[in-house]
A and B are shown apart, each in its own frame.
Chain A
């Protein structure tokens, strides 16, 4: 398994501002992903964080709104830009371990007021 730490665990932000979420893994992992879970909903993939290159975004998500960095094999950041109340969600980082099994961080609860 892997220990995945996310910061912040929870935050309340003003609309129009930006917040950067960090994801730190205790071992090197090749594949890292960011998901969003809106209130009462299931999880939706935002993007694949690629080490050393631009992230790969899913339909409906764009780099200007959700810029992602992946400077090495143990760390990634997701920024939620120009936030609105609709961005209030849990944001989760996930990694692939042991080739197949996918693990998640504890999530970052974001409330935009």
Chain B
């Protein structure tokens, strides 16, 4: 099956800093989504982005499908951005996602 690798595995930032999270995948995809899992376990859907660029407030994402990677940008980070960020992809037509191992982000005040 498809492989998904995320980097870095852990990231510590000071409030106000910017960061870039990366997701590499091993095959072409029909679906790519970024999620934020908060400390209570809730998965929040950030972006549906199988290709192209999207922005939502301080967050933006870019997927270069031909090169099989996606980037999540977080600008002016806040303590509420802390949690685990997952990249998940789908390429079988079944709509079931394969998740990367996640990036654990800690934003310090």
Q: Which A residues have a C-beta under 8 Å from some C-beta of B?
A: 1, 31, 33, 37, 41-45, 48, 90, 92, 94, 96, 100-104, 106-107, 109
Contact = CB atoms under 8 A, between A and B. Distances in A.
A99 B88 CA distance: 16
A31 B95 CA distance: 8
A28 to B, nearest CB: 15
Interface stretch (B16-24, B39-47, B61-69, B74-82): B39-47
Contacts of B86: 42-43
A25 B35 CA distance: 20
A37 B31 CA distance: 21
Contacts of A43: 43, 86, 88, 97, 99
Contacts of B33: 101-102
Given A42-B102, A101-B33, A102-B33, A96 B41 contact: no
Contacts of B35: 104
Given A33-B96, A48-B96, A42 B42 contact: no
Interface string B94-105: 111111111000
Contact of B42 (A33, A45, A94, A106): A106
Nearest to B47: A101
B46 to A, nearest CB: 11
